[in-house]
Amino acid sequence: MKTTVFLFHPNLNNSTVNKALAQSLDNDIEVRDMYSLYPDFKIDVSKEQEVLEATDRVVLQFPMYWYSSPALLK
């Protein structure tokens, strides 16, 4: 089963927990750092739909900001 982690962290280098989690994943888990892929916030919807269709499990990893998610995830 393929697992894809969609990582939504605007400042991953300064995040101790999210950075450690992303780096500790197995090699068979794909991590998609959405802020690195789309720094201009223009998401390639077709590409991301292909990724979703090809995966069995989806994980959304992001920091909580005042009980909400980062802008790119919204």
pLDDT at position 63 is: 84
Nearest to 7 by CA among 38, 44, 42: 38
pLDDT at position 57 is: 95
pLDDT at position 14 is: 73
- Give the whole-angstrom CA distance, residue 17 versus residue 20: 5
Helix (H) or strand (E) holding 45: helix 45-53
pLDDT at position 56 is: 96
B/e letters for 48-67, b = 16+ CB within 10 Å, e = fewer, are: beebeeebeeeeebbeeeee
Q: In what order do the strands lie in the sheet with 29-33?
A: 29-33, 3-7, 57-61
11-69 per-position pLDDT tens digit: 777 777 766 776 777 778 898 999 999 999 999 999 999 999 999 999 998 888 788 89
